[in-house]
Amino acid sequence: MTIRFTGIDHVQLAAPAGCEAEARRFYGSVLGWEELPKPASLQARGGAWFRCGMHEVHIGVQADFRPAKKAHPGFAMIGLDELRNRLVEAGVPVTDDALREDEGLQRLFAEDPFGNRLEFLQYDSNGVTTMSKEEKRDEQPE
């Protein structure tokens, strides 16, 4: 059998014990992500799961928690300016980064309530893309 990776199912971010209410406020209310039910077999571990586009983000409780300041997920999106405003209104510090604007990419960095670094990216119509080679091929006219 040939091994073939088909994508990322989920990303897990660590958080301290008792994080659930704050995770729901930030990921659910501020970012607008749908909370997903955790399997019964995992509920005792705490944390919360959310849907981000076609992927899942799992907030998992870690006993010796320390926030990730360098390693981070990058979330491709549409509506970066609106998200920036929503984050600022919620009191979340935002850092804009123009290093890749010449590639048609806007991005900003923020931290979740637990101090984990998050990146949010928006591609313009002339810029780089997250589409796979197969998706690009499928979009070509016949």
Instruction: Tell whether the model's pLDDT for residue 133 goes beyond 50.
Output: no
pTM of the full structure:
0.84
* Per-residue model confidence as pLDDT tens digits over 34-86: 999 999 999 999 999 999 999 999 999 999 999 999 999 999 999 999 999 99
3-class secondary structure per residue, 124-139: CCCCCCCCCHHHHHHH
Question: Taking CA 34 as the corner, what is the angle to CA 28 and CA 40, rounded to the nearest 5 degrees?
Answer: 105
Position of tokens 């091929």? 137
Taking a C-beta distance cutoff of 8 angstroms, is the pair 111, 71 a contact?
no
Percentage of the chain lying above the pLDDT 70 cut = 88
Assess whether pLDDT exceeds 80 at residue 142: no
Distance CA 101, CA 51 (A): 28
Q: What are phi and psi of 122, to 5 degrees?
A: -135, 125
Domains annotated on the chain, with CATH: 10-136 (3.10.180.10)
Who wins on pLDDT, 41 or 135? 41
